[in-house]
């Protein structure tokens, strides 16, 4: 077969073979599917990269790179010790001591406790000599010591530095009286326990002192009445402690104007910050 006849046979075969139009739609569909696959793969890969960056930033920084230091999480303040059943808190500022609910307040005769009692914001006392009866306990508290204080050791109370004066006993008629003190300078709080039972009873009372960040003791006013403008000074003290003064005035010819006659709740009562304190003032 020569070259001319071969060309004729090829032309005839091409004329007999049907040729469809190019599959443009199918080509477009395939391209769209390929684009979606690439987009999906990129989305998954981008998410993985973001997660890896959050979980292990050091992986993305490259080998030998130091991971980013996270800021330390502050530890919550220690919770105050729970008040034992049958006891109540009395205190100064954010420091308090737990005493039996049966104890009274300022149950004194000539300055001497006659029964178990809290001694706080005591006014003028008559001068007389009364012996302390056996088996009587008391806790005296204030912003500063009312007796000579000599620290013999440094201790911590709920993480706050405090000074302890060791317990000592003195023989009197009709028995022995023991006493010991604790001073917390940063909180302006002082506690003195006395007992005509034993030195161990004094230590037991002082062991009930605690720091109470979420409560504050109503301050006393008796000492302020000895100075100038006691009502103003007392309101400033309430403000310093985060308490609110609700002042009412009364007429008292025997008292100087501006003197504080009383407060409610009573001095030493533990209340929440921002609580109102009724202050009765001579007008």
Four-way CATH pick for 217-282: 2.170.120.12, 3.40.605.10, 3.90.850.10, 3.30.10.20: 3.30.10.20
Per-residue pLDDT of the chain (283 residues; tens, 9 = 90+): 555 554 565 556 545 545 454 444 443 444 343 343 333 333 334 433 333 333 344 443 455 655 566 666 655 555 667 899 999 999 999 999 999 999 999 999 999 999 999 999 998 888 788 899 999 999 999 999 999 999 999 999 999 999 999 999 999 888 899 999 999 999 999 999 999 999 999 999 999 999 999 999 999 999 999 999 999 999 999 999 999 999 999 999 999 999 999 999 999 999 999 999 999 999 9
Cis? peptide before 174, omega within 30° of 0: yes
Fold of 87-211: Jelly Rolls (2.60.120)
pLDDT of residue 122: 93
Query: How far is it, in rounded angstroms, from Cα 31 to Cα 37?
Result: 10
CA torsion through residues 23, 29, 31, 33, sign: negative
Beta strand 153-157 with 160-171 is antiparallel
The closest alpha carbon to 279, from 271, 28, 265, 268, belongs to 265
Cα separation, 69 vs 5, whole angstroms: 86
pLDDT tens-digit readout, 25-64: 443 444 343 343 333 333 334 433 333 333 344 443 455 6
226 DSSP 8-state letter:
G
The reported pTM is: 0.72
Three-state DSSP state, 279: strand
Quick one: pLDDT at residue 214? 97
Any idea where the domains of the chain sit in the sequence? 24-74, 87-211, 217-282
* Residues 94 and 212: beta-carbon distance below 8 Å: yes
Could you tell me whether strands 117-120 and 137-142 are parallel, antiparallel, or unpaired per DSSP bridges? parallel
pLDDT at 162: 98
């Amino acid at each position: 077969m020569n070259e001319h006849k071969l060309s004729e046979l090829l032309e005839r075969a091409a004329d007999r073979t049907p040729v469809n139009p190019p599959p443009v739609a199918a080509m477009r569909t395939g391209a769209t599917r390929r684009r979606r696959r690439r987009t999906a793969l990129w989305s998954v890969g981008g998410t993985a990269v973001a997660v890896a960056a959050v979980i292990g930033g050091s992986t993305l920084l490259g080998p030998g790179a130091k991971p980013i230091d996270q800021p330390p999480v502050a530890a919550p303040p220690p919770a105050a010790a729970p008040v034992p059943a049958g006891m109540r808190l009395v205190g100064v500022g954010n420091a308090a001591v737990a005493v039996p609910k049966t104890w009274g307040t300022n149950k004194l005769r000539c300055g001497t406790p006659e029964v178990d009692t809290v001694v706080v914001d005591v006014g003028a006392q008559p001068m007389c000599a009364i012996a302390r009866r056996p088996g009587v306990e008391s806790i005296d508290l204030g912003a500063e010591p009312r007796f000579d204080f000599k620290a013999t050791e440094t201790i911590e109370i709920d993480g706050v530095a405090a000074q302890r004066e060791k317990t000592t006993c003195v023989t009197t008629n009709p028995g022995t009286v023991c006493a010991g003190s604790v001073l917390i300078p940063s909180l302006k709080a002082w506690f003195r326990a006395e007992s005509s039972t034993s030195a161990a009873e004094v230590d037991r009372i002082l062991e009930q002192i605690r720091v109470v960040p979420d409560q504050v003791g109503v301050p006393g006013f008796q000492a302020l009445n000895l100075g100038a403008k006691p009502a103003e000074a007392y309101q400033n003290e309430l403000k310093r402690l985060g308490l609110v003064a609700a002042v009412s005035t009364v007429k008292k010819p025997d008292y100087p104007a501006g003197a504080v006659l009383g407060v409610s709740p009573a001095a030493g009562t533990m209340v929440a910050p921002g609580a109102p304190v009724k202050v009765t003032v001579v007008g």
